[in-house]
Amino acid sequence: MPTGRMPGVRGDVREIPHLRPPVDLLEQPPCPFHANWSAATSSAPDGWSADMEVVILPGPDDCGRVVADILARAVGNGGAGTRPTLGLATGSSPLTAYRELIRRHREEGLSFAGVRTVNLDEYVGLPADHPESYRSVIRRELTAHLDISDDDVHGPDGSASDPLVAAREYEQQLRDGGPVAVQLLGIGANGHIGFNEPGSSLTSLTRVKTLTEQTRRDNARFFDSPDDVPRHVITQGLGTISRAQHLVLTASGAGKAAAVAAAVEGPLTASCPASVLQLHPHATVVEDEAAAAALERADYYRYTLEHKLPHQPF
């Protein structure tokens, strides 16, 4: 607990006018990330410890299996009548996990009945039934193949007449829906998560963002023409994302190596939005060898994974 004492100064600095802080530190409101800590630790499984865990695996399919394990565990822990909310991401990195979940549903009977899902983001100006709207993508890549009702799949309304209002309404919907058990994340080459581009506030909420030209070029492969890629999106903010109990970022390929290294080992900075995971009480980064190529402590991460306790979950 801060006392206001300073080395070399007698007494309490708050008694010295020119050293008195403008606001007593003891009266500051609690940091929003403290609430995230309480939410995550209150429901943490036995054997879990608060730390960022970096998991390096040989290839994308291996990453998909581990991510699927985490999501399946959350579904299984929910039990009847208390099914969890899962946060879903689009892009190429989560696809191997989605395919593995579909396989387990079909071949092993893993049920998602009653599970609620929330999307990270949506393009502004695309109707919900557009093939590249994220609501359509998530349905095509995952939920249509599981026993999840379409009514339980939620996302921002990108076709709303006022996107600013739609963003605020989605933020409120997320708050009213209760905690997200696991939020799955990809990472952009510039370090963005969701569509929180570099410069985004680490405590930002759901809002409208303008995409960088690099992000539009990266996503042009999904559209007939680069000119068809929308310039604006509604995205969960970094503060919104951080309310989830468990953040799971997955990445594959050499093109993500620099971004992964900046997020995991670089400074906490708005210049790399994914670095916000360093503040979270329960974050797991799952990447293949190619995406881990720029990590300075990669050997240590491999060592810790090799010696992970048998009963210690991700």
Which residues are within 8 A (CB) of 192 and not within 5 positions of it... i.e. 6 or more apart? 198, 200, 215, 273, 274
Q: Let me know if 306 is a catalytic residue.
A: no
Residue 45's SS3 state is: coil
105 catalytic residue (yes or no): no
Assess whether 169 carries a catalytic annotation: no
C-alpha distances in Å from residue 185, one per residue of 15, 47, 227: 48, 24, 26
Q: Which of 100, 121, 122, 287 is catalytic?
A: 121
Integer CA distances (angstroms), 261 to 42, 134, 274, 283, in order:
30, 27, 10, 15
Report how far apart, in Å, the C-alpha atoms of 90 and of each of 106, 136, 153, 252 are: 22, 10, 14, 14
Cβ neighbours around 228 below 10 Å, total: 13
Residues 213, 209: Cα–Cα separation, whole Å: 13
Query: What is the residue whose two structure tokens read 């042009």?
Result: 220
Residue of 122, 120, 155, 138 whose CA lies nearest to 230: 122
Spell out a b/e string for 50-63, using b for 16 or more CB atoms within 10 Å of the CB, else e.
eebbbbbbeebebb
Exactly one of 122, 171, 197, 287 is catalytic; which is it? 197
Catalytic residue among 190, 196, 218, 288: 190
Q: Is residue 192 annotated as a catalytic residue, yes or no? A: yes
Catalytic residue selected from 119, 122, 157, 192: 192
- Catalytic residues, by residue number, are 121, 190, 192, 197
